[in-house]
Amino acid sequence: MASDLSRPEIPRLPVTRVARGLLVFFALLMPLPAMADRYQPPGVTEYKLWYRNYDSPAIHALLRLAFAKTPEYGDFEIIRSIEMGQGRVLRELAESRSGLVQIANVASSRERESALLAIPIPIDGGLLGFRVCVVMPHALPLFEGLRSLEDLRNRGIRIGQGVHWPDADILRKNDVPVVTHTRYEVLFNMLRNNRFDCFARGVSEVTFDLDIENDPDLVIEPNLLLAYPMPSYFFTAPDDYLTAHRLQLGMERAIMDGSFGRFLREYYGEPLEELRLERRQVIVLSNPFLSEESRSIGRQTLDDLRRRLEIFSR
């Protein structure tokens, strides 16, 4: 598979254990390098966050929470980056020279973890790999009675995704037809114009998407849940250890004091209830593009989902 990034492998931030449970979801507890506790910078530090993340209330709030937990690093201000596609933002981070962006939250893959610094805490508890379909109302009958991946393939259902998103390669690897574009915003217009049948969106993001679109002709298909291991991390440039350490420490403190769990419930609890996951037919897809560490995290999330759905269905 062709990579969207090309840089030598660099050391990753260490992870020691996975805390279980999708109800409070899960997070990773990591040892912090000693230098992070000693650093005392003056003034206000500006952090440029990818505009897609900046515009997401949940992601913006989590970044602000992590920074607020690390006052020894000084005051901070989060700046919206210029608008650019996911492929470009990853290249800008990998080159780490332009200053156009410093932090991005995207789905993980081996290539991304090798080229950038990953803070390997799934920011939404691992929910990004659980996907529902945004569809046009006339397409709803196409999804009735779907029970398996084979059914999905046999009906020729075309799924829309970003050209640089790991999902596109995952779907292709599972022999599912994919239609792509470089810009997330354009994909909604492609769906309206019947260029594909389903815009697969993460359960942690789909209600926010539709609030922004504010289009009654876009509906969430009620019966299907695509599931594959795909944790979503914050990433920084490969040499920006200071920002990565601050994020790591802030998120670790938020996990330890319970504020990360409260964040997850506040921003994702209600959307999960609205989507009624326990009533959906789950179709599991393989994802061969993860590092061993992220594959373990992804498997844990899928297992937690299965346990929750078994409880709900009793």
Q: Do domains 17-125+232-257 and 128-227 have the same CATH topology?
A: yes
CATH of range 128-227; options 3.40.50.1450, 3.40.190.10, 1.20.1260.10, 3.40.50.720:
3.40.190.10
Distance CA 298, CA 287 (A): 9
Cα 211 to the chain's mean position, in Å?
18
Local confidence band at 128 (pLDDT 50, 70, 90 cut-offs)? confident
pTM check: above 0.85: no
pLDDT digits (tens, 9 = 90+) for 267-311: 998 888 899 988 999 999 999 998 888 877 777 776 666 555 553
Say what the pLDDT of residue 12 is: 42
Comparing CA positions, the residue from 55, 68, 45 lying closest to residue 253 is 68
| Residues 6+ positions from 229 with CB-CB distance below 8 Å | 126, 129, 287, 290, 294, 295, 297, 298, 299, 301, 302
User: Residue 70 above 50 pLDDT?
Assistant: yes
Which tokens is 104 given?
């991005």
Say what the pLDDT of residue 243 is: 97
Segments making up each domain of the chain, as ranges: 17-125+232-257, 128-227
Say what the pLDDT of residue 294 is: 84
pLDDT digits (tens, 9 = 90+) for 219-276: 999 999 999 988 999 999 999 999 999 999 999 999 999 999 999 999 998 888 899 9
Comparing CA positions, the residue from 300, 21, 1 lying closest to residue 166 is 1
Distance CA 172, CA 313 (A): 31
Which tokens is 108 given?
């993980």
pLDDT digits (tens, 9 = 90+) for 2-33: 444 433 333 445 443 333 333 233 333 233 33
User: Residue 95 above 70 pLDDT?
Assistant: yes
7 vs 49, 114, 115, 182, CA distance in Å?
22, 7, 5, 22
Look at the alpha carbons of 228, 255, 86, 216 in this order and tell me if their dihedral is positive or negative. positive
CATH of domain 17-125+232-257: 3.40.190.10
Distance CA 91, CA 179 (A): 23
